[in-house]
Structure 1
């Protein structure tokens, strides 16, 4: 029986055995399930600033976990080996929510504050995030998430009780650009708006030459963020050629700083990254 996945904007209609665009969700016996549940491709103890989260418990470490799959198709993806992978394409190890919570607790003695769901797009496997984050919160530790924000508000509501901080990619501030990436700007804006009302949020915009590097666009973005709250941190980061986008040079450092200065006219906290 064909079923429709409601996790994100794509609403993939799947026959039994079919996998969605994200490569992580599938129709199994007439029911949409999380196919990458507990299938971990990456596990590392990272500085929280690497997420990047500069204004949430700075100086701490967080156990970072990722699986495979993503519901966008960014040609400049930095983690394409796992984000664009499906079942069997990337080496995985099964780690149950209970085991992840235990690992987070074990590393507490060396400064770990909890878990970060990151590396691939965690929302395509949101059930694992929810189940793990709930157990981690029960130990008195924190949960953070790095996401593209392309998920339904219903999914976000399921997670907000357990997530303390998020870094959300705001990849551009033009709808046509988002369409090229397989996304929807208005959906991401709605996600950011709700998330910022429920937990600590920082945003990241990767400045890609010829795609989103205009000063006018950055000022529009910053004004919109400020309309939510002027104290939401924005990370303006430098692009380097990656994946399918090797047809251009890295963003000029001067351009990144210029756009950060433009955003700083409206926002209290603007950070420059990768420079």
Structure 2
């Protein structure tokens, strides 16, 4: 396989002093020769930007699509999940920190070319490929090439992302995707600056762009962290913004936190807290609200936004009941369920299979 430095990155500009500026995300890292950005995978090599993880994955697993989580995107189907290393945020609560904060490129698989990944997804009968584990924003060029290879074989592509990206690369990146789950980590700039090292506004801009300017099916996840983003006022403000700026049909997932990385002094999120957040969201007008990282069948169940009929009942990631019509409508009132649905659900269940390309 060619040397990593042979893979030129996009989204940067030169400076008169010999340094280069990364224009991929709002960090705008300015890099001297040999220097890497905060993400660690974009490097100044000879006055050119290089993506050092192109063609190398930190591992590939086949998961249920509900694990991303995407509950309204071809339920029950399998998705080939992959990531690389590094991240452009510095979340103190990162639950994939061993990947997103990795500085050891030798932990990556030796080779995972876009065509090999697409072929593996087809071989294993995967409905889609997901860019996840670490944020695909930082390996956008690699993800775009994988998406092209997948689409050539009729395989859809999904991103699990923090949405921290500039407008120009955002347009090119999301043009290649079929669905995205965006982490809305909290709803105050103070929270973002203190716990992620980023800012809230670019994430909100990405969400509005996805919902209003693309055909990408979009869902949102908030990791609810006790004493940091779980107060009623912040939760209500977030939900009101979603209804007002995105609409009531964008699914929202509240996931449970567990102590990890640099936030070890905070206990796990109680189930009661997730249920309280869900109740606030539903009272605000969001029609499809879920709980995650906990066992809560009611919080995993999809109901009709018009009449309340139970349409999809889940236990963790397994479908217990599926009542949608073949055209994606409620059988009780004929209201369409927002999302992307096939005539029949998938039957992958809650398995997790690690594979090698």
What is the TM-score of this pair, normalised by structure 2? 0.74
For the residue of structure 1 that corresponds to 2:266, the secondary structure is coil
2:20 is aligned with 1:3? yes
How far does residue 89 in structure 1 lie from its aligned partner after superposition?
6.1
Note if contact 1:82-1:90 (Cα within 8 Å) is conserved in structure 2.
no
2:134 is aligned with 1:120? yes
Note if contact 1:2-1:14 (Cα within 8 Å) is conserved in structure 2.
yes
Equivalence for 1:22: 39
Equivalence for 2:148: 134
How far does residue 169 in structure 1 lie from its aligned partner after superposition?
0.2
How far does residue 114 in structure 1 lie from its aligned partner after superposition?
2.2
2:204 is aligned with 1:156? no
Cα deviation digits, residues 42-89 of structure 1 (max 9, x gap): 200000000000110010001111100101111111110110013536
Equivalence for 1:84: 101
Query: Rg larger in 1 or in 2?
Result: 2
Cα deviation digits, residues 233-269 of structure 1 (max 9, x gap): 0001111111111102111211111011101122010
Equivalence for 1:144: 158
Note if contact 1:41-1:93 (Cα within 8 Å) is conserved in structure 2.
no
Equivalence for 1:43: 60
Cα deviation digits, residues 112-167 of structure 1 (max 9, x gap): 11210000111101000101101111111100010011111211211222200000
Equivalence for 1:274: 293
2:269 is aligned with 1:234? no
Alpha-carbon distance between aligned partners in 2 of 1:9 and 1:87, rounded to the nearest angstrom: 25
1:167 is aligned, of 181, 206, 210, to 181
Alpha-carbon distance between aligned partners in 2 of 1:247 and 1:89, rounded to the nearest angstrom: 31
Note if contact 1:237-1:273 (Cα within 8 Å) is conserved in structure 2.
yes
What is the TM-score of this pair, normalised by structure 1? 0.96
Equivalence for 2:202: 187
Q: In structure 1, list runs of 5 or more residues that go unmatched.
A: none
Q: How many pairs were matched up?
A: 272
Cα deviation digits, residues 190-237 of structure 1 (max 9, x gap): 011111231100000001011101111111111111121110000011
For the residue of structure 2 that corresponds to 1:39, the secondary structure is coil
Shift in alpha-carbon separation, 1:89–1:73, aligned structure 2, 3 A: farther
For the residue of structure 2 that corresponds to 1:92, the secondary structure is coil
How far does residue 36 in structure 1 lie from its aligned partner after superposition?
1.2
Alpha-carbon distance between aligned partners in 1 of 2:174 and 2:144, rounded to the nearest angstrom: 9
Q: In structure 2, list runs of 5 or more residues that go unmatched.
A: 1-17, 295-357
